[in-house]
């Protein structure tokens, strides 16, 4: 190759080499424009309905996605007392309480969107002569609060209305809790924007002294009250359940005082309001302090709308006489709407036809014609002539009066679908 041609080729290859190096350097300076790699959510599979859905990679990954508790309370933990836990709690937290007895640790819960739950065995809050603000073992005035699997015992205060829980603000849900030997199990404020829901919980053992009336559950003039799947027994002079709420849903409960009980009313709505009482067993003992089982309107109206809708309840009277339902027409007004439908009355007593409303399908039966559960006559035999004897009760104000569940021993409720052989009472 001629010298001038060889020199020309070297110059060209040198130029190309520099160009490649320059391009490599420039590429190294350009930031990566690709999006970040997505998190692995698991396999994509087709569900039976034809939809594509993500299946988590494994149980550990699914558990990691759940929000853990932000505070753990109990012996051996960083936070050992309930009083301290309530003081340190923040909005949106989950507070888990370890099993055991917590003596003299009153608490004031003021935060919003909190869940307080017992884990493992049910922890027990023992008052031991102490209270929050002279009111209760716990005072709740946050926003939206949920309390699960906690027991409250022994509340006593100077005013004689010491509560397991005093509820003063917001929305409160009680799930699977227990209240025993308190001057009041739960006591609420009288504010119409409050809402209380109690499910699958137990109340009992009112203090045995005559200085004051101790109600197992006393609901003030709040906006809405729901009670479902809960059990009440062994009252003394006060009522098992008393509610002044504007709207009440009493569903599938066991409000039976028991042999040793001396409660006054088993269920009372002293100021009327709208009350749906569906699928409950409600019974007074032989030693009752008041012969009426359910009372409505004894202290006159508080709310603009007043109506009582009772359907498919089993009402049990072990007293020598009494009234299964007592409507105080002279106080609440003779024109109040009362529906009594498909209720089953056991034992002696009267059930008066209301002046305004509906009265149909109510039956009386002897104790010996029912099957006992826990010593309480509740369920008709399979061959009872009352099976298929009543019609569906329909709706009231858009609320279905036919029960869709029934109380389940020892506490709680289970779904139930009535058959065409519809019977009066709470148990189909």
Q: What is the mean pLDDT of residues 161-174?
A: 98
Question: What are the pLDDT digits (tens) for 53-74?
Answer: 555 545 544 444 456 579 999 9
Q: What is the mean pLDDT of residues 213-226?
A: 98
**Closest listed residue to residue 123, CA positions, set 143, 145, 156, 95:** 95
Distance CA 75, CA 158 (A): 30
**Closest listed residue to residue 194, CA positions, set 163, 165, 168:** 168
DSSP state of 40: P
Q: What is the mean pLDDT of residues 236-243?
A: 97
Measured in degrees and rounded to the nearest 5, phi and psi for residue 83 equal -60, -45
- CA angle, residues 183, 297, 282, in degrees to nearest 5: 60
Q: What is the mean pLDDT of residues 219-225?
A: 98
**Domains delineated in the chain:** 68-415 (2.160.20.10)
Residue found by looking up tokens 């603009």 in the block = 304
Question: What are the pLDDT digits (tens) for 82-103?
Answer: 999 999 999 999 999 999 999 9
Q: Quick one: what percent of the chain has pLDDT higher than 70? A: 84
Q: How many CA atoms lie within 13 A of 99 on its CB side?
A: 4
Q: How many helices (H) and strands (E) does the chain have?
A: 4, 41
Residue 427 makes CB contacts below 8 A (sequence gap 6+) with 281, 314, 378, 379, 380, 406, 407
Distance CA 93, CA 163 (A): 24
């Amino acid at each position: 190759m001629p010298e001038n041609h060889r020199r020309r080729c070297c110059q060209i290859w040198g130029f190309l080499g520099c160009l490649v190096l320059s391009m490599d350097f420039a590429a190294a300076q350009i930031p990566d424009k690709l999006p970040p790699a997505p998190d692995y959510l698991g396999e994509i599979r087709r569900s039976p309905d034809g939809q594509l859905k993500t299946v988590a990679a494994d149980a550990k990954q699914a558990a990691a996605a759940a929000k853990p508790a932000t505070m753990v309370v109990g012996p051996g933990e960083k936070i050992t007392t309930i009083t301290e836990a309530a003081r340190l709690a923040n909005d949106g937290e989950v507070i888990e309480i370890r099993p055991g007895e917590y003596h003299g640790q009153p608490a004031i819960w003021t935060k919003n969107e909190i869940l307080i739950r017992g884990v493992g065995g049910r922890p027990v809050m023992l008052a031991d002569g102490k209270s929050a603000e002279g009111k209760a073992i716990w005072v709740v005035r946050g926003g939206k609060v949920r309390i699960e699997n906690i027991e409250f015992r022994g509340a006593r205060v100077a005013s004689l209305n010491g509560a397991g829980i005093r509820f003063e603000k917001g929305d409160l849900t009680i799930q699977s809790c227990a209240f025993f030997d308190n001057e009041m199990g739960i006591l609420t404020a009288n504010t119409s924007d409050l809402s209380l829901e109690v499910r699958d919980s137990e109340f009992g053992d009112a203090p045995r002294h005559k200085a004051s009336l101790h109600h197992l559950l006393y609901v003030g003039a709040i906006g809405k009250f729901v009670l479902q799947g809960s059990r009440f027994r062994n009252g003394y002079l006060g009522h098992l359940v008393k509610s002044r709420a504007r709207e009440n849903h009493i569903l599938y409960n066991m409000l039976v005082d028991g042999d040793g009980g001396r409660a006054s009313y088993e269920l009372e709505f002293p100021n009327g309001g709208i009350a749906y009482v569906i699928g409950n067993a409600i019974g007074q003992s032989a030693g009752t302090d008041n012969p009426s089982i359910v009372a409505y309107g004894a202290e006159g109206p508080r709310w603009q709308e007043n109506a009582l809708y009772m359907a498919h309840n089993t009402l049990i009277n072990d007293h020598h006489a009494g009234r299964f339902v007592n409507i105080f027409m002279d106080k609440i007004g003779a024109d109040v709407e009362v529906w009594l439908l498909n209720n089953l009355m056991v034992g002696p007593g009267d059930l008066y036809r209301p002046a305004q409303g509906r009265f149909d399908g109510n039956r009386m039966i002897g104790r010996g014609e029912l099957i006992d559960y826990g010593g309480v006559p509740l369920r008709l035999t399979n061959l009872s002539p009352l099976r298929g004897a009543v019609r569906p009760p329909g709706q009231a104000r858009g609320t279905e009066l036919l029960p869709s569940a029934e109380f389940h021993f020892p506490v709680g409720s289970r779904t139930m679908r009535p058959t065409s052989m519809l019977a009066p009472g709470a148990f189909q």
